[in-house]
Amino acid sequence: MKRNLGICLVLVATMLILTGSTLASKIEVSGKPFDFGQEFDLGGQTVTFIAHWDLLAWNDAANPISKQIAVSPERIKEAEEKFNCKIRSMVVPAGERESVFMARLLSGESAYDVWDGLGTGIFEGLVGQNAFYPVGDILPPEYFEALPPMHRAMAKAYEFQGKTYGFGAAGNGVVQITLTAYNKSLFEREGLPDPYELYKKGEWTWDTFKELAVQATRDLDGDGVIDQWGLATVPNYDAVGRFAYANEAAFAKFDENGRVVFAFDEPNALDAIRLYQELVDLKVIAPSGDPITQFVSGQAAMDVAFYPWYMTGPYQDNMEDEYGLVPTPIGPAATNYNFIPREGQTMVLPANSEQPLALIALVDFLWPSERLTSDVFEYVFSNMSPNRETFEMLMIGHSQLDGKYYLAWPHVAFNGVEDAINQIVNEGKAPAAAMEEVKPRIQAVLDELFRQ
């Protein structure tokens, strides 16, 4: 299929663009303009946009849709005149963002900064130090309702103790959404039911997922060695985290007093751990290796650690078979499929922001919510998708993103849960006992992180 993949994608894209408007009319993916009701004057100040990439980069050779998403030099000039300011971009290495942000805040240099590309780890490392301005205190609910669903979810993900810090609709709308990829051609060859059809019927459950993983795991040449696996290699915290999200569980939560507390010892989370333990015991997960290579080469039927950016590189360039996308299978405690962002773009302001409402309005002028129209999503997703079902899954998932489980996941996963799961799988420790053992250590990390 690889030699003909370009032709196939063009045909699929054409079909989807022709039919996508019907789907988009039923699925909310775009944003709406928000009227601030006033003009703003930044008094000639220089506004500095800081991220680990150039937020204001422009490519004259880009296609029209990409240009619609990005910020043109003409738009920047117009914004400078409209808001009476100068605009510049500052790029800092990803690993230095937290220290740069805090240094600028403490020195007072950040009064006209706008920060982006935080990721949950950096946000949580700084929010406990009161480094951000609570934009929810000056923005009405209607502002967030006007954002595209993805950015609305990210604003929710950047909430802390009842305060909202994230805002804006920068970026192209494609986040690292939690989805499962499956090899559609492999499922057809094996005579297995299509997971997308199971999802549409509400039958894409943990039990069905487990059964299909077992059936897809095979010794193809009869030499006694498994050469086709149900699942590609996946880090234990990533698999368990996704299963937990799909079962109404989270790594951490707020208690009744607003304190961030460890939550991975609760029943729904323990069930997610047990599911992973069963999959390991059933020997359906490929041994250590590169999960992308395993999936693309057809060695693995499913990849539960899928991210959309795979589609524009490894999948399009190297995959012979056709693939599809579905949500993480629904857990027994859940009533709906969950689409959770793992990373994504949102803007924040430093705590010493001099004119926060004006800066928010400036961001919205540069990256207006309404520019992310259904046409943009249709173009982006149709060019990424090998078939109609995958296109629909991306549209549905991005319209239903929910940031509520985002809190503190890396700090919990990497400070105890990952090691505890290894003990459960490799040493037979009971999930409840393993979580109880690491809970004090993780809670101490959370207390220090959030200064609570």
Summarize pLDDT for 71-113 with one digit per residue, the tens: 899 999 999 999 999 999 999 998 898 899 999 999 999 999 9
The answer to whether residue 225 scores a pLDDT higher than 80 is yes
Least confident of 62-76, 159-173, 327-341: 62-76
Q: What is the pLDDT of residue 230?
A: 98
CATH architecture of 179-341+406-449: 3-Layer(aba) Sandwich (3.40)
User: How large is the average pLDDT for residues 157-168?
Assistant: 89
The pLDDT confidence band at residue 25, using thresholds 50, 70 and 90, is very low
User: How large is the average pLDDT for residues 34-44?
Assistant: 97
Question: Is pLDDT larger for residue 216 or for residue 312?
Answer: 216
The answer to whether residue 405 scores a pLDDT higher than 90 is no
The answer to whether residue 401 scores a pLDDT higher than 90 is no
SS (H, E, C) the chain: CCCCHHHHHHHHHHHHHHHHHHHHHHCCCCCCCCCCCCCCCCCCCEEEEEECCCCCCCCCCCCHHHHHHCCCHHHHHHHHHHHCCEEEEEECCHHHHHHHHHHHHHHCHHHHEEEECCHHHHHHHHHCCCCECCHHHCCCHHHHHCCCHHHHHHHHHCEECCEECCECCCCCCCCCECEEEEEHHHHHHCCCCCHHHHHHCCCCEHHHHHHHHHHHCECCCCCCCCCEEEECCCCHHHHHHHHHHCCCCCCEEECCCCCEEECCCCHHHHHHHHHHHHHHHCCCECCCCCHHHHHHCCCEEEEEEECHHHHHCHHHHHCCCCEEEEECCECCCCCCCCECECCCCCEECECCCCCHHHHHHHHHHHCCHHHCCHHHHHHHHHHHCCCHHHHHHHHHHHHCECCCCCCCHHHHHHHHHHHHHHHHHHHCCCHHHHHHHHHHHHHHHHHHHCCC
Rounded percentage of the chain residues whose pLDDT exceeds 90:
55
Structural domain spans, the chain:
29-173+343-399, 179-341+406-449
Q: What is the pLDDT of residue 106?
A: 96
The pLDDT confidence band at residue 318, using thresholds 50, 70 and 90, is confident
Least confident of 4-13, 61-70, 442-451: 4-13
User: How large is the average pLDDT for residues 234-245?
Assistant: 90
The answer to whether residue 420 scores a pLDDT higher than 80 is yes
The answer to whether residue 11 scores a pLDDT higher than 60 is no
Q: What is the pLDDT of residue 79?
A: 98
The answer to whether residue 301 scores a pLDDT higher than 80 is yes
Question: Is pLDDT larger for residue 117 or for residue 402?
Answer: 402
Residues 295, 181: contact at Cβ < 8 Å? Answer: yes
Rounded percentage of the chain residues whose pLDDT exceeds 70:
87
The answer to whether residue 232 scores a pLDDT higher than 90 is yes
**In terms of Cα–Cα distance, which of 279, 283, 277 is closest to 428?**
277
The pLDDT confidence band at residue 323, using thresholds 50, 70 and 90, is very high
The answer to whether residue 337 scores a pLDDT higher than 90 is yes
The answer to whether residue 169 scores a pLDDT higher than 90 is no
User: How large is the average pLDDT for residues 357-367?
Assistant: 96
CATH topology of domain 29-173+343-399: D-Maltodextrin-Binding Protein; domain 2 (3.40.190)
Q: What is the pLDDT of residue 298?
A: 95
The answer to whether residue 4 scores a pLDDT higher than 50 is no
User: How large is the average pLDDT for residues 1-19?
Assistant: 41
Q: What is the pLDDT of residue 12?
A: 41
User: How large is the average pLDDT for residues 392-402?
Assistant: 84
The pLDDT confidence band at residue 156, using thresholds 50, 70 and 90, is confident
Q: What is the pLDDT of residue 168?
A: 92
User: How large is the average pLDDT for residues 220-247?
Assistant: 93
Token pair 């027994």 in the structure block, residue:
332
Residues 189, 356: contact at Cβ < 8 Å? Answer: no
The pLDDT confidence band at residue 214, using thresholds 50, 70 and 90, is very high
Least confident of 96-110, 284-298, 376-390: 376-390
The answer to whether residue 362 scores a pLDDT higher than 70 is yes
The pLDDT confidence band at residue 345, using thresholds 50, 70 and 90, is low
The answer to whether residue 5 scores a pLDDT higher than 80 is no
